[in-house]
Amino acid sequence: GQQLNQSPQSMFIQEGEDVSMNCTSSSIFNTWLWYKQDPGEGPVLLIALYKAGELTSNGRLTAQFGITRKDSFLNISASIPSDVGIYFCAGRQESRSTGTASKLTFGTGTRLQVTL
């Protein structure tokens, strides 16, 4: 199945550093989501974006919905050890006529490791 392209694939950073990652698609999405997944667990929603150009924050996390609707960015400021995990972007193409939610298309993931 289709997967969105995320970069970088993995990154090692020091505690306190800022982190940036992005997600690109060949298709347009109406909604962009960012999830974090810890080993052996399901993804946990971090941020949801619904409008092109939208910039949304959740604590130390900031995400943007690209103007072209084909990309999204996630920034983590002042990283801490518990930020370790895999970050996934996900896009959704909603039905305009029914307004119903449908499937998510996930990215390939960015693995973040934080060193003290």
Partner 1 sequence: DTGVSQNPRHKITKRGQNVTFRCDPISEHNRLYWYRQTLGQGPEFLTYFQNEAQLEKSRLLSDRFSAERPKGSFSTLEIQRTEQGDSAMYLCASSPTLGFRGMNTEAFFGQGTRLTVV
Binding site for partner 1 (CB under 8 A): 1, 3-4, 31, 33, 35, 40-45, 47-48, 50, 88, 90, 94, 99-109
Nearer to partner 1, 44 or 67 (CB): 44
CB of 111 to partner 1, least distance (A): 9
**10: number of Cβ within 10 Å:** 11
Whichever of 8 and 16 has its CB closer to partner 1, that residue is 8
Closest approach, Cβ 15 to partner 1, in A, equals 26
Least distance (Å) from partner 1 to the CB of residue 48? Answer: 5
Rounded to an integer, what distance in angstroms lies between the CA atom of residue 62 and that of residue 26?
A: 23
Print burial letters for 82-112: b (CB count within 10 Å at least 16), e (below 16): ebbbbbbbbbbeeeeeeeeeeebbbbebbeb
